[in-house]
Amino acid sequence: MSGPGLHRWEVNMASDQSAQSAVKVTVYGRTGSPPCYAIRDFLYRNDVPFEWVELRTDEEARAIGLHGPNDERLPVCVFPDGTRMERPTIRVLTEKLGWFRDPSLSEYDLAIYGAGPAGLSAAVYGASEGLKTVVVERWAIGGQAGSSPKIENYLGFPKGISGAELAERAREQACRFGAEILIAREGVRGEFTAGKRIGYLADGTKVTSRAAICATGVDYHRLEVPNEERLRSAGVYYGAGAGEASLCVGHHVVVVGGGNSAAQATMHFSRYSPHVTLVVRGSSLKSSVSAYLIDRIQSASNVEVLTQTEVVALEGDELLEAVIVRNVQTGEHRRIETHWVFVCIGGAPRTEWAVEAGVARDEAGYLLTGPDLSGNGQPPKPWPLDRPPYFLETNIPGLFAAGDVRHGSVKRCASAVGEGAMAVTFVHRYLSGG
Ligand X SMILES: Cc1cc2nc3c(=O)[nH]c(=O)nc-3n(C[C@H](O)[C@H](O)[C@H](O)COP(=O)(O)OP(=O)(O)OC[C@H]3O[C@@H](n4cnc5c(N)ncnc54)[C@H](O)[C@@H]3O)c2cc1C
Catalog residues that contact ligand X under the rule CB under 6 A.
Answer: 113-119, 136-139, 143-145, 147-148, 151-153, 186-187, 215-218, 239-240, 260-261, 264, 344, 350, 403-404, 411-414, 416
Query: What is the rounded CA–CA span in Å between residue 155 and residue 101?
Result: 33
> Which residue lies nearer to ligand X by CB, 260 or 394?
260
CA angle (14 as vertex; 10, 20 as ends), nearest 5: 60
> Which residue lies nearer to ligand X by CB, 69 or 143?
143
Q: What is the DSSP letter of 266?
A: H
**Least separation in angstroms between CB 187 and ligand X:** 4
**Least separation in angstroms between CB 289 and ligand X:** 11
> Which residue lies nearer to ligand X by CB, 43 or 78?
43
Produce one character per residue of 260-270: b if its CB has 16 or more CB atoms within 10 Å, e if not: bbbbbbbbbbb
> Which residue lies nearer to ligand X by CB, 28 or 238?
238
Query: What is the rounded CA–CA span in Å between residue 22 and residue 6?
Result: 19
With beta carbons less than 8 A apart as the criterion, state whether 36 and 27 touch. yes
* Positions of E strands within 176-288: 180-182, 187-193, 196-201, 206-214, 219-220, 236-238, 252-256, 275-279
**Least separation in angstroms between CB 294 and ligand X:** 14
> Which residue lies nearer to ligand X by CB, 69 or 259?
259
Please name which of 389, 390, 388, 392 lies closest in space to residue 419, comparing C-alpha atoms: 392
Query: What is the rounded CA–CA span in Å between residue 265 and residue 150?
Result: 9
Cα 310 to Cα 223, 313, 316, 323: the distances in Å are 9, 9, 18, 10
**Least separation in angstroms between CB 212 and ligand X:** 11
**Least separation in angstroms between CB 296 and ligand X:** 13
Please name which of 152, 172, 216, 194 lies closest in space to residue 47, comparing C-alpha atoms: 172
> Which residue lies nearer to ligand X by CB, 66 or 111?
111
Backbone angles phi, psi at 106, to 5 degrees: -80, -20
**Least separation in angstroms between CB 211 and ligand X:** 17
> Which residue lies nearer to ligand X by CB, 39 or 215?
215
**Least separation in angstroms between CB 383 and ligand X:** 25
**Least separation in angstroms between CB 228 and ligand X:** 18
> Which residue lies nearer to ligand X by CB, 220 or 390?
220
> Which residue lies nearer to ligand X by CB, 212 or 325?
212
**Least separation in angstroms between CB 263 and ligand X:** 9
**Least separation in angstroms between CB 222 and ligand X:** 14
> Which residue lies nearer to ligand X by CB, 85 or 140?
140
Before 4, cis peptide (omega within 30)? Answer: no
Which value, to the nearest 10 degrees, does the dihedral of the CA atoms of residues 114, 117, 121, 123 take? Answer: 20
Backbone angles phi, psi at 196, to 5 degrees: -130, 135
Cβ-based neighbour number of residue 287 at 10 Å: 8
Contacts of 296 (CB under 8 A, 6+ apart): 267
